[in-house]
Chains A and B, each alone.
Chain A
Amino acid sequence: MVLKEQFEIPGGLKKWSYALMAVGVLTLILGVVYLHPFSGGHGEAHGAEAYGATKFWMALMHNSIFWLLVTAASFFFISATTLAQGGWQVAFRRVPEAISGSINILGPITLVILLGYVWLSPDHHIYHWKDVEHVKHDAKLTWKAGFLNPTFYTVLSIAAVGLWIWFRNWYRKNSIAEDLAGKADHSFYWKSLAISAAFLVTYGLTVMSTLPWMWLMSIDAHWFSTMYSWYTFASSWVSGISLMMLFVVFLKNKGYLELVSEEHIHDIGKFMFAFSVFWTYLWFSQYMLIWYSNQPEETEYFIDRIGAGGHGGPFKAIFLLNLIINFLAPLLILMRRGSKRNYTVVTLMAVIIIFGHWLDFYQMITPGPLKELGQESNSLSHFLYSLGISAGFLGLVIFLTAKYLTKASLLPKNHPLIKESIIHHT
């Protein structure tokens, strides 16, 4: 059997990625023209203009952070399975390798957006800790200022994103070098273990702890939750697995990845199922403790979203929808063995899960700044604006992943565990 090891980008995929990116760029341009991203701050900061700037930066931050974390999760998948000396994923490992390549571009884009907001935009409704005058009169923020300040924000963001990209490219280089070396040469395999171990420490110290505090939790700067980073990680991780599933199914349908069978699809499906439940576990652990102890400084986070005392908050519908599509749907639909082996069902679920967690990020980011602005209701226009920007990022991820897929053989054929992967049986 001759394997189709070299991926060629199908015309349809190219067209779709260009179209999506065009939508994104168009949305961005509309935003620059109509939302006045560099207005705001003190003085003229009220009314529609200030709201526009906040809305613009919120949409950009929401999507760049979400897609960056989702694509970075692919590299977490590779590292975790490599370090565990897992063999089953080797047959399709080039797919997450390609997806994680997107962070080469998404990382800098995210940094530009975040640092652009922190340093260049006078608006401070998203991160009100960057308003120096305000922090002086705010005891809680003064106390947190050692961590929440523009300089440390910049250093940590650049260091984190830089390290992910560096580790990912090192791993990738090693992986491609393995293809060219002899089958008996296992040094690349042992080296990949070391890279994975080092990356996992970095990842643990960034995505699983400090970065979500800084990038997202600091939007509600007075509030804190020890569950928050894990929760963010779980969200991005389950979406990352779903994205991987979409690409694997796409390549299978195009006749590539001949050695990937229903067994592999089944196991990725199990990951989607398991980590949807894991996300729910973290969601509940965060919600229940705050609900139970009922302390004003903690419950404010949920009051901003679902309202208090029977009065529905602006995000109540999204909050409940979030639970239905991120927990109930995967739980009930992916529970059966047959559905995890069915290409249509897993594709549908992967799309639902990615959209669900995108929505989750939306309701994590938007309510805080809206309250700052005194806007009572969630606005449809902002939701649509965010969706438009998201199309751009999705197109970029598709475009970059396809590009990286063509750069190397789809099968790491000299990997010592490749046989284990081919005969994989769940």
Chain B
Amino acid sequence: MPVKKFVVGCFDDEKTLFPAVKNTRKAGYKIHDLYTPFPIHGLDKAMGLRDTSLHTAGFIYAITGTTTALTFMSWVFTKDWPLNIGGKPHLPLPAFIPIVFELTVLCAAVGMVLTFCYLCQLAPFVKKDHFHLRATDDLMVMPIEITDKTNADEVKAFLQNAGAVEVFEKEAETGWWIGRYDRDRKVFEKEEKTVIA
């Protein structure tokens, strides 16, 4: 995966972050992503992200579970191995419902967790670059990608004006890699030229 150059702006307040995001998009800079220590309501809208499709996926997994459970049990108890259980009919629908429900929930839950991990590129041993360690603590971190057309110094000045408490340049791996942070310290801690605003 490519290593790209970023200018990273760090904010310590939602109140400055929201206008900063809005102005950054207006100025035409490319926001790589936003790393925040806690979920911020409305930030996805401010960034212009579309709604997630995770719930649609969840619905599809759920009905897969429902149909699997219903068809399998119906087939077993009517065609494959009909048993007389307590004199109940061979297709005892009420007795099937708990199992149908469980399989629906199981398929939806497991499917959605896996899909979520896939969408976020999360897996054991998969590592990604951290732009700032305090993104998991008390800073909202906004890396802006530097392309041929953008001037890094201009972006830095822009972010400082927007109220960033810390601005620095960083070259970072944009994708994921398989490794260990304790052995990849160099990649992990490659922070340069910190400017305190």
Contact = CB atoms under 8 A, between A and B. Distances in A.
A287 B42 contact: no
B97 A284 contact: yes
B41 A425 contact: yes
Contacts of A291: 94
Interface residues of B, number: 12
Contacts of B86: 292, 294
A292 B41 contact: no
A292 B94 contact: yes
A351 interface: no
Given A425-B41, A425-B42, A337 B95 contact: no
Contacts of A292: 86, 88, 94-95
Contacts of B59: 335
A294 B86 CA distance: 10
Contacts of B41: 425
Contacts of A294: 86-87
A26 B167 CA distance: 77
Interface residues of A, number: 9
Nearest to A425: B41
A335 B94 CA distance: 23
A284 B97 CA distance: 9
A259 to B, nearest CB: 17
Contact of B94 (A287, A337, A425): A287
Most chain A beta carbons < 10 A, residue from B59, B87, B94: B94
A335 B51 CA distance: 16
B32 interface: no
A288 B55 contact: no
B31 to A, nearest CB: 21
Given A335-B59, A337-B55, A288 B42 contact: no
Contacts of A337: 51, 55
B127 to A, nearest CB: 33
Contacts of A335: 59
Interface string A270-294: 0000000000000010011001101
Nearest to B56: A336
Contacts of B55: 337
Interface in A125-154: none
A291 B51 CA distance: 44
Contacts of B51: 337
5 contacts: A288-B95, A292-B95, A335-B59, A337-B55, A425-B42
3 pairs of A and B residues whose beta carbons are closest in the complex: A425-B41, A288-B94, A291-B94
Given A292-B86, A294-B87, 4 more contacts: A292-B94, A335-B59, A337-B51, A425-B42
